[in-house]
Every structure is written in structure tokens, then in C-alpha cells.
Chains A and B, each alone.
Chain A
Amino acid sequence: MTTNLKISLGIGAVVALILALIVAAVVMFGDGRAQTPATDSTARTAPAQFLVREDSHRLSTAADGKVTLVEFLDFECEGCGAVFPHMERIRAEYAGRINLVVRYFPMPGHRNADLAARVAEAAARQGEFEVMYTRLFETQTQWGEASESKEAFFLDLAERAGLDMAAFKRDLDAPATAERVRKDQGDGLALGVQGTPTVFFNGSPLDVEPSYDNLKAKIDAVLRS
């Protein structure tokens, strides 16, 4: 065997060993969330306690509760931005007739996703979740996909929305706000959410794209029955 081959195989073996150790460490010492419920994302009904919490943000509430839509979203995800207008049409058309709940699920690959979720949550502390939810999506192209912090942009957004800025800044940096976002994310992971937007229709993951037409067809079918 040549020296070249020996060294190559040697490095390969060392790297394989290191990778094996890392995998073993993650399996043994990881918090095991990856193995928790509902990883088979078939049309099983999601455990209700993970889907909607007392403090979850509702964009619409129905008295009868026949239809409940829960969307796990990332304000920076362009897919969520694309679904946003569809959701807004559904919200306008079925206001008060369906439950529409949104949950935070910021993606680790999006630089400002977690911050945006905290911005929405800080606005929610002043009762202005809906305003911020709408504005974050409407302005997504102006701040999304950035590689630097967009905090200044968000502060400006909050100011224009007429929020109490002192309280907003305090809430934005409060550990409780970050914790609230992480709790939503944790529920999503427990439900087997792998990406955004993930929409649950009456407890089951939506089996079609969350477009206006698809959602309308499903909602009408249930409301008519």
C-alpha cells in the first residue's frame, strides 16, 4: 500500500470515528426530542394540548368550534409569506365562524426569524399581535433573508404601529418573551412539525397545500355538515 493511500484511509478512519462518537453522544445525551410523539406525520390526530394553548394567539374565534386551523409559522419563511394572503382571505371570509390560531416556529436557518417572533410577541403584550403579524408578513421582502440583525427595522415597524416603545423594547428583550416563542416551537417539534408553514386542520396535518381554494373547500365541507 502506498503512503498516499495509507494517509487517506487513515484520515477517513479518524473522521468516521469522530462522526460515530458525535452521533453516539447526541443519541445518549441529547434530550431525545427527536424521538418524541407523532414523528410519522400521517393523518393522525395531534394531541390537543400541543396544538392550542391558553395563551396561543387567535386571529379568529368561533363559538361552535367546528373548524380549528392552527398554523405553525416562521415570519421569515418565504413559504409562509406566500401563504399569508391565502390565510388573510380565509380569515376575512370566515371571521367568527372558525378558530384560526397561529403558533411561532422560527427556523434556525433564518437570521431574523426568532427576533421577528419576539417582535410579534412583544406587540402581543400590548394587545397588538394582529397588527404586527400582518406588518411582518407585508414587509417580509424588506427584511427577510438578511445576514445581519434587523432590529432597527422592527423597532421602526413597532413605532409606526403606534406601540408604546418603552414597553415594547423591554418586552422584546425580556426572557419571558423568548421563552414564550420557544414554548410554541417546542409544541411544534412535539407534534412532529418539520417545516413551515405547517397547518393543522381540526387536529390533523393538512394533506394539501394551504391555498385559499383548498382551505375553503375543507372548511365549507365541515361547516355544511
Chain B
Amino acid sequence: MITYLLFLGTLAGIYAILALGLVVSWGQAGMVNLGLAGFFGLGAYASAILSGAGVPIGLAWCLATLLSAAAGIAFCLLTRTLRGDYLAIVTLGFAEGLRLVETNERWLTGGSDGISGIRAPLKSLLPDAFPSLYLAVTWAVVAVAVVLLARLLRSPFGRALRAVRDDEQVAAVAGKSVMRLKCQAFGIGAALFGIAGAVYAHFTSYIAPDNFGVQITIYIFLAATAGGYSRLVGAVAGALAVMTILEASRLAATAIPGLDAVEIAALREFAIAVALILIIQWRPDGMFRMTNQRAGTRPVARPVAADVHS
């Protein structure tokens, strides 16, 4: 039971890192990134291939993060004329394209066989403590990301990002370099997706293109939406909530008598869909809703009345 919970906790941590990336690029800068699975896979493959070639795992993580960030910035420059739905479509295509590369470049990625036997830090030395250790490492990454992002988003940079999100033209008139801000936000988001991928690859020790399909994108959007897509705390809470829904539905469904396995499986899919609909219906802003800053006061997130949020 304990190992199972540690395992879920680690996965929830990885989801939280992904959701944080989404909060930066979508919640704060207004760019919908449906290609997060692509960056997630890029980080995973980069780290797995590098560590397989003998690069130390810590360095492989850093390189995977940088590669993912660079890909994000390059992607943002390529799509600089696109906004809103159009950008979302192109990001989806990017993820699908990367998945095809992962499937077909067998010399590098092993094709649809995937890469197995990815090394994990300290696993051979401390096999028993590994699950709890890795949980700690994952949540340390989450904590560092939250602290750094919180500082960043409170800074003038964060305010400028939100200005771009709310109205690009107004931000440009106010003298902000919209293009640059968007690329920075997209790059930070991509970096987070990349490191989540690296953490994931060394955790499960096996990756294949199937891991990086649309399903994970949906889960992360569900997490960000459930938690509150513009808030860091929302990303973390949302990731925990999604993992709880996913796994509690498994355990809860078996408690219903008279259902066979096929019906339970269908019911679980249904439960997850219903959860998403209910969240959007009742709490479209998620558990932690967007807060407005007041001019002239310290830019601290304060609880505000429900009717002033944007």
C-alpha cells in the first residue's frame, strides 16, 4: 500500500510540474499549449538517451530541460503570428509530429519498442528506499519551481505577462516587447514540461511514443482547470486532485457490487469526463480563482470578492 501511494505521489508531482508549465504559458501569458505532451516527450527522450550514453543523470536532466526550453522558444518564434485557437492547433500538430519522429527514428529512439532500462539515480544502491527518495526528489523539483515562479510572477515581468495575456495591443502601447515576453513565457513552460519528462523517464525506466499521446495533455488541462489555471497553487492542487480522481475511481468502482470488469472500465472513463464537466459547470475558475491586483498596493495575491475577477 505504501509503495503504491509513494508511486502515485511521485506521478502527481510530475503532473504538478506539467501543470505549472501550463500555468505560466496559458494562465499567465495566455498561450494555449496543447503540445505539452510533445515537450514532455522531448525531455524524457533527451534525458533517457543522454544518460544511456553515459552522461550523469543530473546533467542529463539539465540538458533535457534546456533542450526543451530552446525548442519552446524556437517554436514560439516560428508561430509568432498565431494567437488563440490557431496557436493551439499548431501546438497540437507539433506534439503529434514529435511523436512520429519518436516512432520512426528507430536508430535514436528505438521506434515503437521504446527505450527500456533507463537508469534511475540511487536505485541500485538503495532499492528499498528508492520510492520515497524519488518522491522527495520530484516534490523538491515542484517546490523549487513554485518558489522561483512565484517570485518571477510577482515581479514586473509577471505583471507585463498578464498585460500581454489580457490585451496584447495595450501591452505593446505601454512599451512592452510582446514577442519577447511571449517567447520567455512559452520557453519557461516548455522547460518545465521538459524537466517533468526527464523526471518521468528515470522514474518508470521505460518510455515509448504511446506515453506521450493526447491523453496526458487532457489530464494536465484537467489539472490546471480544476486547480485554477492562472495560479501556481492551483496547478499543484489540481494535479493532486486529478491523480485522486484517476485512482480513487479505480478503487471506488470495485466497491459497487454487480459490475463486471468491462463495465467498471467504462464507468471510470465516464466518471473522469463527468468530473471535468462538473468542474467547468460549477467552478470554471477552479479551486483557486484568478485574483486581480490593485494599482498602488503591494502586488500580493489577496482574496477578493467573487464579482471583480476578470
Do they bind each other?
no
Interface residues of B (CB under 8 A from A): none
Show the binding face of A for B, using Cβ within 8 Å. Answer: none
